[in-house]
Structure 1
Amino acid sequence: MKKYILFFVALALFSCKEPFCEQNTDQATGQVVKVLDSRYRAYDARQGEDLSRFGIWITSPEQYKRVFAHCCASQLDSVDFDRFDILGLSTVNQGSNSSYLRDVKRDDAAQKITYTVTEQYCKRASPLDGKSNLVLVPKIPATYTIAYVRNQ
């Protein structure tokens, strides 16, 4: 009798079309001070190109205004570029109920910053939209290199 009950419980679990998962909240770790508004898109309208596709490092107010001139230049958050920089790495959602883990690690010995964006989702699905994954970080010395890692 117990075998039949276990069989039906297993059948019910595996026949369900939607996985049992909840949408997680986005997280930021490491050197991330703040995640910028998701409406900000680093995009060059003249060339039709996503500027954060391979990673972007924004270091000045002029660059900040230029990168977001097409979408939200009049609504940008105030950033003190003497103290902070912005990093971005665009992603396209690969699943449903996606959440993101954005992590910035600093290695002073190697003079390197590693920005990793990890998408967490319940079920693989067709891409719906993209995110620029822009984060505010402490000022990065100009001599440092930046590695961008996308985990999807």
Structure 2
Amino acid sequence: MKVIYFMLIAAFMLSSCSSPDDNELPIPATGIIVENALVSEPPITEDMHNKEFVIQTDSLNIFNLEVSFDDGVTYEPIDFSKYTLLGKYVPGSGCEVIYSRNATRDDEAKKVSYEIKADQYGVCDCSHPSMNWVLIPKIPEDYNVVFSVELI
């Protein structure tokens, strides 16, 4: 009887921690973020953990990220003459995590602020990390990018 009870609890826990693909969730994006751009999501590796990325050229695109402008039907190389790619690892946890993203540009201060808010729901012992890749219009090389994360 204990074995059956244990198996039921294990099955419930495994099913309650299903991690939806970050690309399948609606991602609230505001500010200068290119709204219809869906950046490919390769598996998150140790090289990405706790890091921030400002990718301005093909040679810096070490993860070979691509972009879709048609809801993921087709992907194409990112045109770095038009766009800058930002990414920040966030180790969301709980039963579900909804990420909100906002990027603003301050030309006077030569700065871009990229703010990520992770709304974490439930008490599940699950991990829902995201690299929070977003495409923004091309910024000059001398701009500073400031990343901030709020975990709720």
TM-score, length-normalised on structure 2?
0.67
Shift of 1:118: 0.5
For 1:68-147, list aligned pairs within 5 A.
68=64, 77-147=76-146
Structure 1 residue 143: deviation in Å?
Answer: 1.1
Q: Which structure is higher in strand share?
A: 2
Q: Gaps spanning 5+ residues in structure 1: where?
A: 1-23, 70-74
Q: What is the RMSD computed on CA atoms of the aligned residues?
A: 2.4
1:67 paired to 2:66 = no
Q: Hey, what's the Cα distance between the residues in 1 that align with 2:58 and 2:44? A: 14
Residue 54 of structure 2, aligned match among 51, 54, 57: 57
Equivalence for 2:31: 30
CA distance in 2, matches of 1:27, 1:92: 18
Conservation of the 8 A alpha-carbon contact between 2:101 and 2:114: yes
Secondary structure at the residue paired with 1:49? coil
Alignment deviations for residues 88-121 of structure 1 (CA, whole Å, 9 cap, x no partner): 0011122222111011011111111011111113
Q: What amino acid is aligned across from residue 107 of structure 1 in structure 2?
A: D
CA contact (8 A) 1:111 1:144 kept: yes
Task: Provide the rounded CA distance (Å) in 2 between the counterparts of 1:130 and 1:120.
Answer: 12
Q: 1:144 to 1:129 in 2, by over 3 A?
A: same
Residue range with higher mean Cα deviation, 122-131 or 53-62: 122-131
**What amino acid is the match of 1:128?**
S
Counterparts of 2:91 and 2:78 in 1: how far apart (Å)? 26
- Give runs of ≥4 in structure 1 deviating > 3 Å: none
What amino acid does structure 1 have at the position aligned with 2:122? K
Matches of 1:128 and 1:77, distance apart in 2: 29
* Structure ID, larger Rg: 1
Q: Which residue of 2 aligns with 1:17?
A: none
SS of match in other structure, 1:62 = helix
Tell me the CA shift for residue 62 of structure 1.
Answer: 2.1
**Count, aligned residues:** 117
Contact 1:42 1:68 in 2 (8 A): no
Indicate conservation of the 8 Å contact 1:95/1:125, yes or no: yes
* Paired-residue identity, %: 22
| Amino acid in the other structure paired with 2:48 | D
